[in-house]
Amino acid sequence: MDIADLQRRLRDFAAARDWDPYLTPKNLAMALVVESAELVEIFQWKTAEESRQLSPDEHRHLGEEVADVLMYLLQIADRAGIDLPAAVDRKIEMNAKKYPAPTA
Protein backbone atom coordinates (compact mmCIF):
# COMPACT_ATOMS: atom_id res chain seq x y z
CA MET A 1 0.00 0.00 0.00
CA ASP A 2 1.46 3.32 -1.07
CA ILE A 3 0.28 5.82 1.54
CA ALA A 4 1.51 8.88 -0.37
CA ASP A 5 -0.30 7.74 -3.51
CA LEU A 6 -3.54 7.16 -1.61
CA GLN A 7 -3.28 10.60 -0.02
CA ARG A 8 -2.67 12.16 -3.45
CA ARG A 9 -5.70 10.35 -4.90
CA LEU A 10 -7.86 11.54 -2.00
CA ARG A 11 -6.60 15.13 -2.45
CA ASP A 12 -7.37 14.97 -6.19
CA PHE A 13 -10.83 13.51 -5.51
CA ALA A 14 -11.65 16.30 -3.04
CA ALA A 15 -10.21 19.04 -5.24
CA ALA A 16 -12.28 17.93 -8.24
CA ARG A 17 -15.40 18.41 -6.11
CA ASP A 18 -14.33 21.67 -4.44
CA TRP A 19 -14.43 19.99 -1.03
CA ASP A 20 -11.11 21.38 0.21
CA PRO A 21 -12.64 24.15 2.38
CA TYR A 22 -14.57 21.52 4.35
CA LEU A 23 -11.78 19.00 4.81
CA THR A 24 -10.18 20.50 7.88
CA PRO A 25 -8.50 18.24 10.43
CA LYS A 26 -11.40 18.95 12.83
CA ASN A 27 -14.10 18.02 10.32
CA LEU A 28 -12.19 14.98 9.15
CA ALA A 29 -11.73 13.79 12.74
CA MET A 30 -15.46 14.15 13.34
CA ALA A 31 -16.21 12.19 10.14
CA LEU A 32 -13.72 9.53 11.25
CA VAL A 33 -15.64 9.05 14.49
CA VAL A 34 -18.92 8.66 12.58
CA GLU A 35 -17.39 6.08 10.25
CA SER A 36 -15.84 4.27 13.23
CA ALA A 37 -19.30 4.02 14.76
CA GLU A 38 -20.60 2.52 11.51
CA LEU A 39 -17.76 0.00 11.68
CA VAL A 40 -18.67 -0.94 15.25
CA GLU A 41 -22.34 -1.22 14.30
CA ILE A 42 -21.54 -4.23 12.11
CA PHE A 43 -20.50 -6.16 15.22
CA GLN A 44 -23.17 -4.82 17.57
CA TRP A 45 -24.97 -7.64 19.38
CA LYS A 46 -22.77 -10.34 17.84
CA THR A 47 -20.82 -12.76 19.97
CA ALA A 48 -17.06 -12.95 19.56
CA GLU A 49 -17.50 -16.08 17.42
CA GLU A 50 -20.23 -14.49 15.27
CA SER A 51 -17.95 -11.52 14.65
CA ARG A 52 -15.46 -13.96 13.05
CA GLN A 53 -18.09 -15.53 10.80
CA LEU A 54 -19.71 -12.70 8.88
CA SER A 55 -21.96 -13.35 5.93
CA PRO A 56 -20.61 -12.34 2.51
CA ASP A 57 -22.74 -9.18 2.58
CA GLU A 58 -21.57 -8.31 6.09
CA HIS A 59 -17.96 -8.94 5.07
CA ARG A 60 -18.34 -6.63 2.05
CA HIS A 61 -19.91 -3.98 4.28
CA LEU A 62 -17.07 -4.40 6.79
CA GLY A 63 -14.54 -3.76 4.02
CA GLU A 64 -16.38 -0.60 2.99
CA GLU A 65 -16.42 0.77 6.53
CA VAL A 66 -12.76 -0.12 7.12
CA ALA A 67 -11.94 1.71 3.88
CA ASP A 68 -13.92 4.77 5.02
CA VAL A 69 -12.05 4.86 8.33
CA LEU A 70 -8.70 4.48 6.60
CA MET A 71 -9.47 7.19 4.04
CA TYR A 72 -10.46 9.70 6.72
CA LEU A 73 -7.37 8.83 8.76
CA LEU A 74 -5.13 9.29 5.72
CA GLN A 75 -6.73 12.66 5.01
CA ILE A 76 -6.30 13.86 8.59
CA ALA A 77 -2.62 12.96 8.51
CA ASP A 78 -2.16 14.53 5.08
CA ARG A 79 -3.84 17.81 5.93
CA ALA A 80 -2.16 18.02 9.34
CA GLY A 81 1.30 17.30 7.94
CA ILE A 82 1.78 14.00 9.79
CA ASP A 83 4.34 11.57 8.37
CA LEU A 84 2.33 8.40 8.98
CA PRO A 85 5.12 5.83 8.59
CA ALA A 86 7.33 7.81 10.99
CA ALA A 87 4.46 8.27 13.45
CA VAL A 88 3.65 4.54 13.38
CA ASP A 89 7.30 3.58 13.86
CA ARG A 90 7.59 5.99 16.78
CA LYS A 91 4.38 4.68 18.38
CA ILE A 92 5.45 1.04 18.03
CA GLU A 93 8.74 1.88 19.75
CA MET A 94 6.89 3.67 22.54
CA ASN A 95 4.52 0.72 22.98
CA ALA A 96 7.44 -1.74 23.05
CA LYS A 97 8.93 0.20 25.95
CA LYS A 98 5.62 0.56 27.73
CA TYR A 99 4.58 -3.06 27.19
CA PRO A 100 7.77 -5.16 26.97
CA ALA A 101 7.43 -8.73 25.78
CA PRO A 102 7.71 -11.27 28.58
CA THR A 103 11.07 -12.96 28.85
CA ALA A 104 11.33 -16.71 29.17
Contact 32, 103 (CB under 8 A): no
pLDDT given for residue 1 in this prediction: 86
Alpha carbons 32 and 76: distance in angstroms, whole number: 9
Give the mean model confidence (pLDDT) for residues 59-68. Answer: 98
Q: What pLDDT, on a 0 to 100 scale, did the predictor assign at position 90?
A: 98
Torsion of CA 39, 43, 48, 51, to 10 degrees: -80
Q: 104: pLDDT confidence band, cut at 50, 70 and 90?
A: confident
pTM of this prediction? Answer: 0.90
pLDDT tens by residue, 34-50? 999 999 999 999 999 99
End-to-end CA distance of the chain: 35
Rounded CA Rg of the chain: 17
28 touches 79 (CB < 8 A): yes
Q: Tell me the C-alpha distance between 26 and 21, whole Å.
A: 12
Mean pLDDT calculated for residue range 79-83: 96
| CATH class of residue range 3-98 | mainly alpha
